[in-house]
Amino acid sequence: MRLTYLAPLIVFVLIGLGLAVGLTLNPREIPSALIGKPVPDFSLPPVVEGGQGLSSADLRAGDGPSLVNVFASWCVPCRVEHPLIMALAREGIAPVHGLNYKDKPADVAKWLDQLGNPFARTGADRDGRVGIDWGVYGVPETFVVDGAGRIVCKHVGPLMQWDVDNKIRPLLDDLKAGRASSVKC
């Protein structure tokens, strides 16, 4: 058997191995360029009258890590993850803030009324400009921000129980304990 006749097989085996590894990866997971960077400067009014608005100062206040959940009343996956966000807020391991993306005040008020309001603070990003600064390209997205106001992690798409148990909660625990985290974002 001459080697040249084996070459196609060898090339194919290499490609096949690559594809096998590729199957274990998620091409939709795009790392955020903002990881490790301070949150962008912004200041947003609250979504409901009388509520507390959200600004970069709140996130840099230094009272421990927090979560920023980008949501909208028109977004169906947001509805899916909402019970988990409620549970996280009730658990109280970190304040959960809401960044309400391109929404109408009446719609979001109704939405929070019906499903419950898990957010310590909310910011109404009516025209989506702050969303652009945060690199939001779809709702929902969830950011983990450390006490100094740096973005540590970004989750794209609805949070699932698995994500909370294996990513969000361990990361928050590590941040609170002040140790370097092995959680991959």
Contacts with other proteins by CB under 8 A lie at 1-2, 5-6, 8-9, 12-13, 15-16, 18-23, 25, 27-28, 30-31
Q: Which is nearer to other proteins, 77 or 147 (CB)?
A: 77
- The nearer residue to other proteins, 19 or 106, going by C-beta atoms, is 19
Give strand pairing partners of 55: 43
Question: Closest approach of Cβ 4 to other proteins, in Å?
Answer: 9
CB of 22 or CB of 40, closer to other proteins: 22
Residue 150: DSSP 8-state = B
The Cα–Cα gap between 43 and 130 comes to: 9
Shortest Å distance, C-beta 28 to other proteins: 6
Q: Which residues contact 103 (CB under 8 A, 6 or more apart)?
A: 47, 72, 73, 74, 124, 126
In the complex, the smallest distance separating the C-beta of residue 10 from other proteins, rounded to whole angstroms, is 9
Q: Which is nearer to other proteins, 3 or 177 (CB)?
A: 3
State the DSSP H helix or E strand holding residue 98, giving kind and residue range, or none if neither.
strand 96-101
Q: Whole-angstrom Cα distance, residue 101 to residue 139?
A: 8
Q: Are 98 and 71 in contact (CB under 8 A)?
A: yes
CB-based contact 93:69 (threshold 8 Å): no
Q: Give me the least distance between CB of 60 and other proteins, in Å please.
A: 29
Cβ of residue 46: shortest distance to other proteins, in angstroms? 29
Cβ closest to other proteins, residue 10 vs residue 87: 10
